[in-house]
A and B are shown apart, each in its own frame.
Chain A
Amino acid sequence: MTDATSTPGSATPRAHKATSLLTVDERTRRRNASEGRFKTYGIVAIAIALFFLVVLVVAILRSGLPAFTATVADVEITITQEEFDAAEGELFKTKAYEQLFIGKLQRQLSENGMQVEFDAAAIERIMGKVGGDIREFYRANPAQLGEPVSFQLSASSRVDGYFKGRVTREALQDSRFLQLSDLDLVDALEEAGIIRQSFNWTFIQGADSGVDNPGGAGIGASVVGSFFMMLVVLFLSLPIGVAASIYLEEFAPQNRWTDMIEVNISNLAAVPSIVFGILGLAVFIQFMHLPQSAPLVGGLVLTLMTLPTIIISTRASLKAVPPSIRDAALGVGASKMQAVFHHVLPLAMPGILTGTIIGLAQALGETAPLLLIGMVGFVARGYPDGIVSGFVDPNSAMPAQIYTWAARADAAFYEKAWGGIIILLLFLMTMNFIAIVLRRRFERRW
């Protein structure tokens, strides 16, 4: 502290002998060291964050990538008109098709001289639920009846697990799902080129399936559900949010009312999302009688959730436009509205769009409000028939689908949940990327 008390040019001798700036004295060294330490803390913090990010990404990819491959069997079978009619006469039609298929495959394998011993029950155990696919095909193509058709059908989830290393011979206990001897048949079928791994298009395109049929489950339908929800959110929250912020920022008088509205908008942004779900259930479904489990209602609920985010970011970007722009516009005779819409709004657009996309991305990943309006659970309607049914027919959403899969007993669904997370992350990354591009392209600096 002697430095601080001594003034240059005073009569008292300086505590330190004046030295060159190039030699570092004790105090400077301490200050430099503390700066160095702070930099190290920062680097350590970033390193820890990066480490967790890498762990997360590796975990997601390792658990999720297997969902993108499936074990399938290529089988050519012929079903006659009589067999078709008989199967259609049953109550449990898909089971009848499955039995037909198993019988035909068994005969084929025996004729081809398969070395391994097996029976119909073994084929039933190693194949997935194939009846639905076969029935769907012949209902759509009745002309193919009586002709050989080659099908690509999914194997059971345990055989799939065997190919992916989830099920091992050592850990396998004989059960009605799979027996050790079945694996010999699987190996023989693989050698014969009948069973193989292929890219899992069903996972990309399909809808949810029953808990005993993981091979038929896909995320496609819920992607469509999410898409329709995001349409509702975009077309409601963007105009409403932007209009509200323009009025509050540019036109509204400063008084107690507008202050209260502003405070409450900020409060709304911090409300837990499940609260909007309860609100949605009470207002949209029970009072307005909108359909349950519909993306329209999901979109409305998420709109409520997204609005505060959009209003806050829009107001921030309107504020960031320099007053000189408004003044200049007003100065050359523009009306207040012309000044706002011709000059301020275009300049604020990059910020508004960024805020909107971030808000949409947040809404895209939201599950809690959907729990209460019936979009979480078993919703397997497949693709909607048209635009209107896309909004009002029951559908799930991506995060809801992932949540549902994660709770199922069969480990194959757990893998699909991780796969779903990869798809969801891809969408979120794309949206963030668009936000960055828009900001880069339209950003103006003063």
Chain B
Amino acid sequence: MSIMKLTASAVAIAAVSATAAAARDQVQVAGSSTVLPYASIVAELFGENTDYPTPVVESGGSSAGLKRFCEGVGENTIDVANASRAIREKEVAACADNGVTDIIEVRIGYDGIVFASQQSGPAFTAFEPTDIFNAIGAQVLVDGEIVDNPYNTWAEFNSELPDTEIAMFIPGTKHGTREVFEEKVLLIGCEETGAMQAMIDGGMSEDDAEDACLDVRQDGKSVDIDGDYTETLARIDANTNGIGVFGLAFYENNTDKLKVATMSGVSPSTETIASGEYPVSRPLFFYVKKAHIGVIPGLKEYAQFFVADEIAGPGGPLSNYGLVADPELAETQNMVANEDTMTSGM
């Protein structure tokens, strides 16, 4: 027993003295699972190419990451939040309440959102936003009337699509991807089918109609996926008729299993997304806590390394993995170099 006691106390003492002595030497990042692959590539390269230790990058979703980011200033909070959408005003306010006032917003590039199905499945090759809305909207326009979604197969509303059961796997609400999906697909589809106008004519305010457009049917034909794209892929694998929503990079890594559909007649690729032809894309960001620059070694260097031409530019490892390079990267580089925060930058 005495040996055990000795070792136990030795461990305890070592632990306490170590934590008292060791200030955090690595950059701590958390947030969007869409940005995670890019951040992990940069983190590995940052560790290999500089004398700073490899940053730690956690996942968990844009909202969860920003929430942790806004918890306060200090070594026990994260330095960088990855997000697949811009920070919301509500979140900026929450940050400010906790003393996180100076935030540097860094846009790293663009990501395309693609609609893909099993390689050997039915011929889902071309979609319009209206198709997606008719398939999974909670209420759709049928013969001039707003009704609860009656459709069971795709051919019922668009004879060009296969006559198979509707089964869509869409990102869950904690994902930043969901927001883009709603804004660039559901809402557009709702407007184009005339459902939105019909709702407004039916006495709804514009805001209520918009919310109603984003409601997704709850009868099992549309499934929210809260996990990663691998979960969506597994669901598609198990369901010949399934259509999944993926990031472009994920799809490009799995072209042997998935076939992609065009959206509004444009097939997704880094080129069509960069040119703005492919409609469903969104910018990716990370947010840096300015108060931590100079306290956490390597933080500013990490941010600068991330947006350097060699890394985030065309032909760099990030664009090679599927990120669409930002044409305004030079401005972002200047912003990071000058440590321009969101308010002072505006």
A-side interface residues toward B, CB under 8 Å? Answer: 90-95, 131-132, 135-136, 167, 171-173, 175-177, 209-213, 231-232, 235-236, 238-239, 285-286, 289-293, 296, 341, 371, 374, 376-382, 387-389, 391-392, 394, 406-411, 414
Assuming the A-B contacts A91-B49, A380-B54, are A407 and B7 also in contact, with contact meaning beta carbons closer than 8 angstroms in the complex?
no
Question: Does the CB pair A409–B8 fall under 8 Å?
Answer: no
- Residues in A whose Cβ lies below 8 Å from that of B166: none
Whether B308 sits at the interface, judged by CB under 8 Å, is yes
Question: Does the CB pair B15–A296 fall under 8 Å?
Answer: yes
Question: Does the CB pair A291–B8 fall under 8 Å?
Answer: no
Identify B310's interface contact among A92, A135, A379, CB under 8 A: A92
Question: Does the CB pair B249–A409 fall under 8 Å?
Answer: yes
The majority secondary structure among interface residues of chain B is: helix
Extra pairs beyond A91-B308, A211-B37 (19, CB < 8 Å): A92-B308, A92-B316, A131-B48, A210-B42, A236-B11, A289-B19, A292-B78, A293-B58, A341-B1, A376-B59, A379-B57, A380-B44, A380-B54, A381-B26, A388-B18, A392-B15, A392-B19, A407-B227, A409-B249
Residues facing A in B14-58 (CB within 8 A) are 14-15, 18-19, 22, 24, 26, 28, 30, 33, 36-37, 39-45, 47-49, 53-54, 56-58
- Residues in A whose Cβ lies below 8 Å from that of B252: 175, 177
Question: Does the CB pair B7–A173 fall under 8 Å?
Answer: no
Whether B287 sits at the interface, judged by CB under 8 Å, is no
Shortest Cβ-Cβ A-B pairs, 3 listed: A377-B58, A210-B44, A92-B310
Question: Does the CB pair A377–B30 fall under 8 Å?
Answer: yes
CB distance from A203 to the nearest CB of B (A): 16
B-side interface residues toward A, CB under 8 Å? Answer: 1, 4-5, 7-8, 11, 14-15, 18-19, 22, 24, 26, 28, 30, 33, 36-37, 39-45, 47-49, 53-54, 56-60, 71, 75-76, 78, 227-230, 249-250, 252-256, 305, 308, 310-311, 316-317, 320-321
A408 CA to B253 CA, complexed, in Å: 10
A438 CA to B74 CA, complexed, in Å: 47
Question: Does the CB pair B43–A211 fall under 8 Å?
Answer: no
Assuming the A-B contacts A92-B311, A379-B56, are A211 and B40 also in contact, with contact meaning beta carbons closer than 8 angstroms in the complex?
yes
Most central of B44, B59, B228, B310 by chain A CB within 10 Å: B44
Question: Does the CB pair A409–B40 fall under 8 Å?
Answer: no
Question: Does the CB pair A291–B11 fall under 8 Å?
Answer: no
Question: Does the CB pair B308–A285 fall under 8 Å?
Answer: no
Question: Does the CB pair A392–B22 fall under 8 Å?
Answer: yes
Question: Does the CB pair A292–B11 fall under 8 Å?
Answer: no
Question: Does the CB pair B43–A289 fall under 8 Å?
Answer: no
- Residues in B whose Cβ lies below 8 Å from that of A285: 76
- Residues in A whose Cβ lies below 8 Å from that of B308: 91-92
- Residues in A whose Cβ lies below 8 Å from that of B250: 409
Question: Does the CB pair B320–A374 fall under 8 Å?
Answer: no
A297 CA to B321 CA, complexed, in Å: 34
User: B254: nearest residue on chain A (CB-CB)?
Assistant: A409
- Residues in A whose Cβ lies below 8 Å from that of B5: 239
Task: Provide a sorted-by-A list of 13 A–B residue pairs whose CB atoms are within 8 angstroms.
Answer: A91-B49, A92-B45, A212-B41, A239-B5, A289-B75, A377-B56, A378-B57, A389-B22, A392-B18, A394-B26, A407-B59, A407-B230, A408-B230
Question: Does the CB pair A378–B40 fall under 8 Å?
Answer: yes
- Residues in A whose Cβ lies below 8 Å from that of B7: 235
CB distance from B276 to the nearest CB of A (A): 21
Most central of B5, B43, B48, B54 by chain A CB within 10 Å: B48
User: B22: nearest residue on chain A (CB-CB)?
Assistant: A392
Question: Does the CB pair A238–B28 fall under 8 Å?
Answer: no
CB distance from A121 to the nearest CB of B (A): 11
A236 CA to B57 CA, complexed, in Å: 29
Identify A210's interface contact among B15, B24, B45, CB under 8 A: B45
A91 CA to B42 CA, complexed, in Å: 13
User: A157: nearest residue on chain B (CB-CB)?
Assistant: B253
Question: Does the CB pair B57–A377 fall under 8 Å?
Answer: yes
- Residues in B whose Cβ lies below 8 Å from that of A167: 256
User: B74: nearest residue on chain A (CB-CB)?
Assistant: A289
- Residues in A whose Cβ lies below 8 Å from that of B30: 374, 377
User: B322: nearest residue on chain A (CB-CB)?
Assistant: A409
- Residues in A whose Cβ lies below 8 Å from that of B227: 407
CB distance from B59 to the nearest CB of A (A): 5
User: B227: nearest residue on chain A (CB-CB)?
Assistant: A407
Question: Does the CB pair A374–B56 fall under 8 Å?
Answer: yes
- Residues in B whose Cβ lies below 8 Å from that of A409: 37, 229-230, 249-250, 253-254
A406 CA to B233 CA, complexed, in Å: 12
User: B119: nearest residue on chain A (CB-CB)?
Assistant: A171
Question: Does the CB pair B19–A210 fall under 8 Å?
Answer: no
Question: Does the CB pair B49–A212 fall under 8 Å?
Answer: no
A217 CA to B21 CA, complexed, in Å: 31
User: B23: nearest residue on chain A (CB-CB)?
Assistant: A291
- Residues in A whose Cβ lies below 8 Å from that of B11: 231-232, 235-236
User: A171: nearest residue on chain B (CB-CB)?
Assistant: B256
Question: Does the CB pair A92–B49 fall under 8 Å?
Answer: yes
